A and B are shown apart, each in its own frame.
Chain A
Amino acid sequence: MNAEELRSLKVDRVVDARGVACPGPLLEAKRSIPAVPLHGVMDVISSDEGTTEDVPLWAKKVGHEYLGTLAEPGLWHVYVRRGK
């Protein structure tokens, strides 16, 4: 998805993992996904750039869809659609 599409997504759950270091944001994402409705969207906010790799890899591995990342100064929004 491009930035515009990502911005217009209806987000079902925001996971604020700012200030948490690896593997914190990944664990937060894993903990939070059950609370997202099936095919719903989760926005993982992280101040750790590594999250922009970790969360997509995790999503692919466990059966969710990585939608894209929006970068802001010092933080990243990583969007995942719950797949199962």
Chain B
Amino acid sequence: MSGGATEVHELGFDHGVGRAASRTEEAEPQPSGLSMVVFSGDLDKVLAAMIIVNGAAAMDLPVSVFFTFWGLNVLRREHPANAEGKKTMIEGMFSRMMPRGAAHLQLSTLKMAGLGTRIMKREMSKKHVSSLQELLRSAQEQGVRFIACTMSMDLMGIRKEELIDGIHFGNVASFVDAADRSRISLFI
């Protein structure tokens, strides 16, 4: 029972006004900004992610986007220079079977063997919704930090030269650090 009492006392101390006040005086910068994990490689999900990212950047939030697993495909170049030769058989298979870049992603639903994606893209252009490639470009122009997950790159045998320009490379600490300094964190 005495242990419980100590605990209460400690809790009281931890959340004491004096401590809280001194904590704010330490000038820890208020977290602001948006950090996002793009795990999905589905066109619709990545589109939604990039619209949020562009909006946040327009509203002057610092934005970091961490691309991992299937999301890594978003950053692939359509025609990488001679990266195929160095791959193992499985890596080569990943390379061939996964979408090569933003232009090749498919919808998460209403796939209809690729027809759904084609129809959606036609509707998007008819209704002047920016393409995923345009949104990625405009995010980068606005200073959004794109981080490619190096663990996923190793796992799937994707090399740096196969990814688009202007991106950073990092692992979980890069994301956690960005997330720690941001107020909004999303996993897509």
Residues of chain A at the chain B interface (Cβ within 8 Å):
19-24, 26-27, 29-30, 54, 57-58, 61-62
The CA of A20 and the CA of B125, in the complex, are separated in Å by 10
A24 touching B130, Cβ below 8 Å? yes
B60 touching A23, Cβ below 8 Å? no
Q: Which of A20, A23, A58, A61 contacts B51 (CB 8 A)?
A: A23
Q: Which of B55, B129, B130, B142 contacts A54 (CB 8 A)?
A: B55
A24 touching B58, Cβ below 8 Å? no
Closest beta carbon of chain A to B85's beta carbon, Å: 40
CB contact under 8 A between A21 and B138, given known A30-B58, A58-B59, A62-B59: no
Chain A residue contacts of B127, Cβ below 8 A: 21
Counting CB contacts under 8 A, is B68 at the interface?
A: no
What are 10 A-B pairs at a CB distance below 8 A?
A19-B128, A21-B127, A21-B128, A22-B51, A23-B55, A23-B58, A24-B128, A27-B54, A29-B58, A62-B60
B130 touching A21, Cβ below 8 Å? yes
Q: A21-B130, A24-B130 are in contact. List 16 more A-B contacts (CB 8 A).
A: A20-B128, A21-B127, A21-B128, A22-B51, A22-B129, A23-B58, A26-B55, A26-B58, A27-B138, A29-B58, A30-B142, A58-B59, A61-B59, A61-B60, A62-B59, A62-B60
Chain A residue contacts of B130, Cβ below 8 A: 21, 23-24
Chain A residue contacts of B138, Cβ below 8 A: 27
Secondary structure call for the A interface: helix
Chain B residue contacts of A26, Cβ below 8 A: 54-55, 58
Closest to B129 in A: A21
Chain B residue contacts of A19, Cβ below 8 A: 128
Chain B residue contacts of A61, Cβ below 8 A: 59-60
Q: Which range contains the number of B residues in contact with the other chain?
A: 10 to 19
B59 touching A57, Cβ below 8 Å? yes
The CA of A57 and the CA of B60, in the complex, are separated in Å by 12
In chain B, positions 119-177 with a C-beta closer than 8 Å to chain A are 127-130, 138, 142
Closest to A18 in B: B128
The CA of A20 and the CA of B127, in the complex, are separated in Å by 8
Closest to A31 in B: B58
Closest to B54 in A: A23
Scoring B58, B59, B60, B129 by chain A CB atoms within 10 A of each residue's CB, the highest score goes to: B58
Chain B residue contacts of A23, Cβ below 8 A: 51, 54-55, 58, 130
Closest beta carbon of chain B to A15's beta carbon, Å: 13
The CA of A19 and the CA of B127, in the complex, are separated in Å by 7
Closest to A48 in B: B128
